[in-house]
């Protein structure tokens, strides 16, 4: 198990460029992943271009259509909400918020969590102990007050809220990556790299993290729905999006209240969310295979 | 191992002290107070309330008072639920949350792990797609949708099970909340188990084991499952702490008298003593469970050692 | 409900039957929150709390099923001519659930307990009409200074007021005016309220409390009308999620659910027309204008324009599905001794909008200088829908509305500090009197969120407070409200309605304007 894992890094000079190209080539061969990628791109594009696609604005009220079911004539293809606003339009706008929350928060949690966990696990001993106690502390703090405080200090800034969510979600990621690192670092290929005098920094970034990529990618795909729904709780507190702007999480929780009387209000945003998650999942699996150093 | 555990437990003291300190001041600088409500209180009555709960003292003094009481095991009175102390509320509610949460975790493990393993062993087959499709649906539908839906279908429309209520923990009352709580966990565990199984099955030593001519069954059971459990276990530590301390959504929808609601309601009501009680309790669980996880690592992978 | 209902899931059957006694006719009531305490001085003010407390305690007077005042612990009373002294004669057979008689001493003790600053009662101000009450509550005077006395060896309770208070008898039905058992206080100290020691003087007495789940009460054998009480007990289920309450009612687990959400009304009306109750209620849903310096809402033209453009019937009918009533007054329709004072909004909607545009233009707002308003509301689905609708109604006038939602504690703290242009608020009457609403617009009152201040208005209210003649007082109060509406002091928007689900097998449950339903009147009809 040593030699193969070591070789790509023995000539690390050319790795950066060809690694990406190689992975991309392999990803392209995965049909499910590519279909997901295209669908995800389409959803994103539709959400971004939303305002020009529907005849209604975000806050436009159709005074003749309060809570009407989806219909082809009348212009509300996916129905209206209780306030007479076009649900398709609002779902598309909501997608902008939710997709960007998911993107920013996931990236933040990925960046902090993976590096933190890998360093902690690799260095081990007292450093690991200290770093993990800090994680314990972060876990234990009441999230709601943490976010409120951030808002008090920095003002009502939507980007900051995204970052706050990411700053909480990285904890699980750090614990998982650290666990993987603890197991990996005793393997021969890491010890061999160590013996060869490869720098710690390089061992972490070139050997440990790529070998922990599988669980990381899966956990990322699990983080996305969590983050999107967490945002709706923050909106409840008045810390997320404010009316008339909305998000998928907010639309879904509003729809739950109307579940029995106007099911489309729950179904429409839920379908968008579910589709996105399915795509992310298949794309994640494809990426994992493409990036896996063992199968390279 | 024993000395390591003892050392970790000793470290819990400074960890908890830091948690308590940060949480105490964090909560007190947040806007809103325990007596802000739909009706503004006349100033003289607000003054009486502040005095009764020592909120008129300087913050550091209140902090020391709190620590002092905590050392004597006194979490203080709840601001909102006046006939109970915070200790009583947690002691009364935790067994309930533990029962529901514990059952949910057992169910999640009992279903999630085999499903994940089966999907990994039959990768890209119909089984795989069926399991992962279902799991994704479980992840995509939040519990605040699942719970009322279950109550509606099985409680109202079919009438098979109670739509809510605790009824001192009678079995029929347990079913829906446990199912609602576990659906997402089943999906999480199945997803993670599948991925890490695939990872392990592709690794060199499994290939080596296969090359040695070991039967597939032996390879899977002896060599693959244990290391594959590692990321699941990492996830489970904090996840279990979260689940056995209850879920506000499940408790409110099914009328379960657990402690999950105190985490959210306590915070929304600015019930300072109750919030601190939940923070201390939850923090202790986190510390404990993460220790258990670290010990489990060595059991799953003997190469993992904690030398100091 | 009969708890003998069988669940179809076969293997689950056994355990269910074991846990329920076969023919118990207990009443299962879903209440929307958790009781704070059986000590009436510690109650947090949720409307669900009075349901439980009025079942286990009884004041000097009590309420009939339709909300009329009846003699309670007092069988008769006299009011002095100046309206300042009330003398109550307690009934001979008034008793606590341990058999001890209820005496005037218990009232004296209970009221002093409520006003003792050390007990920090939130609702102590309800007894402020009593002489010396405020001084006792602020600690300036000892509890003995309170204007209450036990006479005739405890058979007569006398109260002295600071000013004639026509609604005082009404107030006595509120839990702040209940007696407290002096003998168990003396015996057990602070532990008197623990279920092991608690005694109550109402039709029921508590026997079990699982926090956040339910409270069980049993009939009080010592209650003077114990023979009339046919229920075996009442169970109050804490149900914070209103849709869950509806599900549990539909599943037959509850006999009464004390609230349902507006979004479920249409479905319930169709499915359970007999069980779905909706009735006039003494509650007002309004938007407060900020009258403090520096807010655009200080301009009366702006306030009038915003009031003109509000289409209340669209909100109540289209958006809330009929679960609110459109309101043109602050004091809700149905208050005793009061004729509703509606604000004059002349013309049809087009005319009103045209007038609103003129007013805004006159106030200096237009396309180049749009009116920007910050509208605050506390987060619930209903408040959100209403805020969105209001913003949409003002948008055609060129008004830009910035909606800001927050959790309740933050919302009320923020609006009490005056950080808003328009704020959502509501008021549910504590007692059936217009003064209860109108005092919210008096200068310097804590609940006057918008800080409306009009010396003429204050003078009318002060004058009414000293007026004994009910008709004369009514006129003064009506004049005051008319003045405030003329000023566009606020946006009266909706009247609350009471919404209950009630098992059709129940008799003795009547809709009433205060939505009070003592369980002692309720029984199963078959």
Query: How far is it, in rounded angstroms, from Cα A255 to Cα A266?
Result: 4
Residue C216 lies in a domain: yes
Closest to C52 measured CA to CA, from C198, C185, C250: C198
Higher pLDDT, A21 or C162: C162
Q: Chain A: residue nearest C376 by CA?
A: A238
Tell me, yes or no, if C247 comes closer than 8 A to chain A by beta carbon: no
Q: What is the pLDDT of residue B307?
A: 59
Highest mean pLDDT among A156-165, C102-111, C166-175, C462-471: C102-111
B199 and chain A in contact, CB less than 8 A? yes
CA distance B56 to B41: 16
Q: What's the confidence (pLDDT) of residue A17?
A: 52
In order, the DSSP letters of C15-55 are HHHHTS-TT--EEEEEESS----SSGGG----HHHHHHHHH
Please tell me the total count of domains within chain A: 1
Range 46-65 of B in CB contact (< 8 A) with C: 47-49, 51-53
User: CB of A83 within 8 Å of any CB in chain C?
Assistant: yes
Q: Which pLDDT band holds residue A10 (cuts at 50, 70, 90)?
A: very low
Is C50 part of any domain?
Answer: no
**pLDDT at residue A236 in the model:** 80
pLDDT of residue C8: 36
In a domain, C38, yes or no: no
Terminal-to-terminal C-alpha distance of chain C: 12
At residue A19, the pLDDT reads 64
Q: Which chains touch A (3 or more CB pairs under 8 A)?
A: B, C
Does some domain include residue A72? no
Residues A124 and C393: their CA atoms lie apart, in Å, by 62
**Whether the Cβ atoms of residue C106 and residue C181 lie closer than 8 Å to each other:** yes
Whole-number Å distance between alpha carbons of B61 and B59: 5
- Dump pLDDT digits (tens) for C163-191: 888 889 988 999 999 999 999 999 998 88
Reply yes or no on whether the pLDDT at A8 is more than 60.
no
Q: Do the interacting molecules here have an ipTM over 0.90?
A: no
- pLDDT, position B267: 86
The answer as to whether C450 is a domain residue is yes
B192 touches chain A (CB under 8 A): yes
Amino acid A13: pLDDT: 38
3-state SS assignment for residue B4: helix
Confidence tier at C454 by pLDDT (50, 70, 90): very high
**Pick from C178, C200, C222: which residue ends a domain?**
C200
Binned at pLDDT 50, 70 and 90, residue C14 comes out as: very low
Asked whether residue A116 is assigned to any structural domain, the reply reads: yes
Of A143-147, C391-395, C488-492, C505-509, the one with minimum mean pLDDT is A143-147
CATH of the domain at C518: 3.40.190.10
Distance CA C494, CA C324 (A): 6
Least confident window among B43-47, B69-73, C202-206, C453-457: B43-47
Residue C517 phi/psi, 5-degree rounding, is -135, 80
In the block, tokens 């081990």 appear at A124
Residue B295 CB neighbours (<10 A): 16
A4 located within any domain: no
User: How many CA atoms, within 13 angstroms, populate the side-chain half-sphere of residue A271?
Assistant: 11
CATH code, domain carrying A32 = 1.10.3720.10
Which of A69-83, B146-160, C119-133, C272-286 is predicted least confidently? A69-83
Least confident of B95-109, B203-217, B286-300, C101-115: B203-217
Q: Domain residues for A150?
A: 22-47+86-295
The A residues from 246 to 275 touching C (CB cutoff 8 Å) are 254, 257-262
- Residue C193 shares a structural domain with residue C223: no
The partner residue sitting opposite A242, judged by closest CB among C381, C389, C403, is: C403
Residue C253's domain comprises: 1-32+203-275+503-526
**Residue given tokens 């209950």 in the structure block:** C500
The answer to whether residue C3 scores a pLDDT higher than 50 is no
Which residues fall within 8 angstroms of residue B109, CB to CB, at 6 or more apart? Answer: B189
Residue at C328 is within a domain: yes
> Is C271 a member of any domain?
yes
Digit-coded pLDDT (tens) for B11-63: 889 999 999 999 999 888 888 888 877 777 888 888 888 888 888 889 999 99
B278 interaction partners in chain A (CB closer than 8 Å): 142
Total structural domains in chain C? Answer: 3
Ranges A67-71, C75-79, C121-125, C316-320: which has the least confidence: A67-71
Cβ B301–A183 below 8 Å, yes or no? yes
Together in a domain, C305 and C252: no
Do C28 and C148 belong to one domain? no
Q: Specify if C46 maps to a domain.
A: no
Please indicate, yes or no, if residue A62 is contained in any of the structural domains.
no
C-alpha span between B79 and A136 (Å, rounded): 28
For A103, counting Cβ atoms within 10 Å of its Cβ (0-12 exposed, 13-18 middle, 19+ buried), the class is: middle
CATH of the domain at C187: 3.90.76.10
- Enumerate domains of chain B plus CATH numbers: 93-273 (1.10.3720.10)
Pair C486, C515 in one domain:
no
Q: How far apart are CA B108 and CA B184, in angstroms?
A: 8
Q: Give the least confident one: B83-97, B244-258, C6-20.
A: C6-20
Q: Is position A272 within any domain?
A: yes
Provide the angle, in degrees to the nearest 10, between the axes of the packed helices A264-291 and A15-29: 130
C47 occurs within a structural domain = no
DSSP for residue C317:
I
Q: Is residue A80 part of a domain?
A: no
- Chain B contact present for A187, CB below 8 A: yes
pLDDT one-digit tens code per residue, C42-56: 888 778 899 999 999
pLDDT in tens, A253-267: 888 888 888 889 999
Distance, in angstroms, between C185 CA and closest chain A CA? 39
Q: Best residue in C113, C174, C236, C244 to probe B by mutation, most B CBs within 10 Å?
A: C244
CA-nearest residue to A258 within chain C is C263
* pLDDT for res A295: 57
Question: Do A218 and B237 lie within an 8 Å CB cutoff?
Answer: no
Taking only residues 351 to 410 of chain C, the set having a beta carbon closer than 8 angstroms to any beta carbon of chain A reads: 379, 381, 384-385, 387-389, 391-392, 395, 402-407, 410
Q: Is the pLDDT of residue A4 over 70?
A: no
Give the pLDDT confidence score for residue B116 in this predicted structure.
92
> Residues B3, B308: contact at Cβ < 8 Å?
no
Arithmetic mean of pLDDT, C460-482: 91
Distance from CA of A70 to the nearest CA of C (A): 18
- For residues A292 and B89, which has the higher predicted lDDT (pLDDT)? B89
Cβ-proximal residues to C401 (8 Å cutoff; 6+ apart), any chain: C373, C375, C390, C391, C394, C395
Name every chain A residue with its beta carbon within 8 A of the beta carbon of C322.
none
C462 and C375: one domain?
Answer: yes
Final residue of a structural domain among C200, C216, C238:
C200
- Distance of alpha carbon C368 from alpha carbon B67, whole angstroms: 59
Across C70-92, average pLDDT: 93
Beta-strand runs (E) in A41-192 = none
| pLDDT tops 90 at residue C203 | yes
Residue C152 has pLDDT above 50, yes or no: yes
For the purposes of burial, counting CB atoms within 10 Å of the CB of C125, is it exposed (0-12), middle (13-18) or buried (19 or more)?
buried
Q: Closest by alpha carbon to A238, among B270, B28, C409, C448?
A: C409
Residues C144 and C98 in one domain: yes
If asked whether residues C357 and C266 sit together in one domain, one would say: no
Indicate whether C134 and C195 sit together in one domain.
Answer: yes
How deeply is A178 buried, as exposed, middle or buried, from its count of CB atoms within 10 A (0-12, 13-18, 19+)? buried
**The predicted structure's pLDDT at residue C11:** 35
pLDDT band at C274 (very low <50, low <70, confident <90, very high): very high
Question: Residue C7 pLDDT more than 70?
Answer: no
What pLDDT is stored for residue C219 in this prediction? 95
Q: What confidence score (pLDDT) does residue C510 get?
A: 92
Between CA C386 and CA C494 the distance in angstroms is: 10
Closest CA to C102 of C73, C78, C62: C73
As a three-state string, the secondary structure of C113-172 is HHHCHHHCCCCHHHHCCECCHHHHHCCCCCHHHCCEEEEHHHCEEEEEECCCCCCHHHHC
Q: Which of B235, B278, B286 sits opposite A136 (nearest CB)?
A: B286
The H-assigned helical ranges of chain B are: 2-29, 43-52, 59-71, 86-121, 126-140, 143-150, 171-201, 204-211, 216-218, 225-244, 248-254, 260-269, 272-300
pLDDT of amino acid A294: 63
Q: To the nearest 10°, the Cα dihedral for A276, A279, A280, A285? A: 160
Task: Say if residue C15's pLDDT is above 60.
Answer: no
Does C472 share its domain with C489?
yes
pLDDT for residue C21: 37
| C296 shares a domain with C358 | yes
pTM of the predicted model as reported, rounded to 2 decimal places: 0.88
In a domain, A71, yes or no: no
C311 & C453 share domain = yes
A84 to chain C: which residues are within 8 Å by CB?
318-319
Q: Cβ–Cβ of A187/B23 closer than 8 Å?
A: no
**What is the C-alpha to C-alpha distance for residues A260 and C267, in angstroms, rounded to an integer?**
8
Question: A65 to chain C nearest CA, in Å?
Answer: 9
Same domain for C17 and C115, yes or no, is: no
**A73 within some domain:** no
The pLDDT value given to residue A15: 45
């Amino acid at each position: 198990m040593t030699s193969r894992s070591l070789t790509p890094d023995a000539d690390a000079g050319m790795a950066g460029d060809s690694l990406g190209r190689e992975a991309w080539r392999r990803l392209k061969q995965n049909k499910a992943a590519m279909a997901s990628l295209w669908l995800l791109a389409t959803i994103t594009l539709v959400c971004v271009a939303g305002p020009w696609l529907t005849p209604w604005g975000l806050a436009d009220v159709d005074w003749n259509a309060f809570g009407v079911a989806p219909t082809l004539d009348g212009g509300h293809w996916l129905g209206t909400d209780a306030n007479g606003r076009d649900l398709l339009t609002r779902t598309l706008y909501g997608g902008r918020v939710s997709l960007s929350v998911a993107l920013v928060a996931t990236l933040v949690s990925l960046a902090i969590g993976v590096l933190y966990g890998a360093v902690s696990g690799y260095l081990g001993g007292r450093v690991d102990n200290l770093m993990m106690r800090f994680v314990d502390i972060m876990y234990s703090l009441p999230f709601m007050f943490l976010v409120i405080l951030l808002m008090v200090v920095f003002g009502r800034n939507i980007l900051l809220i995204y970052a706050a969510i990411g700053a909480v979600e990285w904890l699980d990621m750090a614990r998982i990556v650290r666990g993987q690192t603890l197991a990996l670092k005793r393997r021969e290929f890491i010890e061999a790299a160590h013996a060869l005098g490869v720098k710690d920094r390089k061992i972490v970034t070139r050997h440990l993290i790529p070998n922990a990529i599988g669980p990381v990618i899966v956990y990322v795909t699990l983080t996305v729905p969590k983050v999107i729904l967490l945002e709706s709780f923050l909106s409840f507190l008045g810390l997320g999006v404010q009316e008339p702007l909305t998000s998928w999480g907010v639309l879904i929780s509003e729809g739950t209240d109307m579940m029995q009387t106007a099911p489309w209000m729950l179904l429409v945003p839920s379908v968008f969310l579910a589709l996105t998650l399915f795509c992310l999942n298949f794309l994640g699996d494809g990426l994992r295979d493409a990036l896996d150093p063992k199968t390279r | 191992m024993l000395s390591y555990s003892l050392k970790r437990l000793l470290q819990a003291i400074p960890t908890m002290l830091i948690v308590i300190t940060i949480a105490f001041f964090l909560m007190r600088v947040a806007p809103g107070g325990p007596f802000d409500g739909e009706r503004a209180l006349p100033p003289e009555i607000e003054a009486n309330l502040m005095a009764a709960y020592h909120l008129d003292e300087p913050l550091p003094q209140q902090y020391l008072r709190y620590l002092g009481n905590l050392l004597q095991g006194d979490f203080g009175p709840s601001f909102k639920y006046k006939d109970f102390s915070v200790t009583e509320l947690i002691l009364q509610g935790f067994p309930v949350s533990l029962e529901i949460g514990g059952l949910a975790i057992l169910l999640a493990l009992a279903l999630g792990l085999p499903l994940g393993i089966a999907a990994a062993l039959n990768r890209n087959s119909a089984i795989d797609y069926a399991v992962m499709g279902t799991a994704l649906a479980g992840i995509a539908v939040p519990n605040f949708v699942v719970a009322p839906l279950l109550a509606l279908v099985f409680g109202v429309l079919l009438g098979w099970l109670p739509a809510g209520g605790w009824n001192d923990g009678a079995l029929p009352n347990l079913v829906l909340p446990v199912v609602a709580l576990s659906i997402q966990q089943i999906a999480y565990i199945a997803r993670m188990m599948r991925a890490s199984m695939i990872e392990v099955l592709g690794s060199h030593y499994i290939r080596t084991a296969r090359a040695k001519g070991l039967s597939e069954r032996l390879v899977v059971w002896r060599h693959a499952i244990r290391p594959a459990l590692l990321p699941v276990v990492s996830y489970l530590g904090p996840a279990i702490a979260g689940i056995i301390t209850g879920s506000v959504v499940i408790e409110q929808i099914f009328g379960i008298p657990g402690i999950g609601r105190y985490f959210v309601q306590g915070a929304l009501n600015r019930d300072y003593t109750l919030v601190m009680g939940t923070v201390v309790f939850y923090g202790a669980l986190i510390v404990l469970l993460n220790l258990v996880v670290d010990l489990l690592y060595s059991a799953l992978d003997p190469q993992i050692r904690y030398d100091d | 409900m009969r708890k003998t209902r069988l669940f179809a899931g076969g293997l689950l059957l056994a355990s269910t039957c074991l846990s329920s006694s076969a023919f118990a006719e207990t009443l299962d009531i879903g209440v929307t929150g958790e009781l704070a305490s059986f000590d009436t001085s510690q109650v947090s003010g949720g409307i669900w709390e009075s349901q439980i407390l009025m079942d286990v305690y009884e004041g000097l007077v009590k309420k009939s099923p339709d909300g009329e005042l009846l003699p309670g612990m007092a069988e008769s009373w006299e009011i002095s001519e100046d309206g300042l002294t009330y003398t109550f004669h307690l009934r001979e057979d008034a008793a606590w659930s341990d058999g001890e008689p209820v005496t005037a001493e218990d009232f004296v003790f209970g009221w002093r307990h409520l006003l003792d600053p050390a007990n920090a009662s939130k609702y102590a101000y309800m007894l402020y009409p009593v002489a010396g009450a405020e001084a006792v509550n602020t600690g300036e005077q000892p509890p003995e200074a309170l204007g209450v006395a036990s006479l005739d060896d405890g058979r007569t309770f006398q109260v002295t007021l600071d000013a004639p208070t026509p609604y005082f008898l009404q107030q006595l039905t509120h839990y702040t005016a209940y007696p407290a058992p002096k003998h168990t206080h003396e015996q057990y100290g602070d532990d008197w309220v623990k279920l092991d020691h608690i005694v109550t003087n109402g039709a029921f007495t508590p026997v079990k409390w699982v926090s956040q789940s339910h409270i069980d009460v049993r009939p009080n054998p010592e209650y003077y009308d114990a023979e009339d009480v046919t229920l075996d007990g009442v169970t109050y289920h804490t149900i914070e999620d209103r849709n869950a309450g509806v599900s549990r009612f539909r599943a037959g687990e509850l006999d009464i659910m004390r609230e349902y959400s507006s979004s479920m009304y249409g479905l319930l009306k169709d499915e359970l027309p007999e069980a779905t109750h909706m009735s006039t209620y003494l509650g007002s849903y309004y938007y407060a204008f900020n009258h403090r310096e520096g807010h655009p809402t200080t301009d009366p033209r702006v306030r009038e324009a915003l009031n003109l453009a509000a289409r209340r019937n669209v909100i109540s009918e289209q958006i809330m599905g009929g679960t609110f009533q459109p309101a043109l007054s602050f004091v809700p329709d149905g208050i005793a001794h009061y004729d509703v004072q509606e604000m004059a909004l002349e013309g049809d909607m087009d005319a009103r909008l045209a007038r609103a545009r003129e007013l805004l233009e006159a106030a200096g707002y237009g396309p180049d200088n749009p009116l920007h308003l910050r509208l605050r509301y506390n987060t619930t689905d209903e408040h959100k829908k209403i805020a969105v609708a209001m913003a949409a109604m003002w948008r055609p006038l060129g008004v830009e509305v910035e909606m800001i939602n927050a959790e309740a504690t933050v919302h009320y703290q923020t609006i009490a500090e005056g950080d808003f242009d328009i704020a959502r608020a509501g008021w549910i009457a504590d007692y059936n009197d217009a003064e209860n609403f109108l005092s919210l617009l008096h200068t310097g009152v804590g609940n006057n969120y918008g800080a409306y201040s009009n010396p003429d208005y204050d003078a009318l209210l002060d004058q009414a407070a000293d007026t004994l003649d009910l008709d004369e007082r009514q006129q003064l109060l009506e004049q005051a409200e008319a003045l405030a509406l003329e000023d566009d002091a606020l946006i009266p928007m909706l009247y609350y309605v009471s919404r209950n689900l009630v098992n059709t097998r129940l008799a003795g449950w009547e809709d009433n304007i205060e939505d009070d339903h003592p369980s002692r009147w309720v029984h199963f009809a078959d």
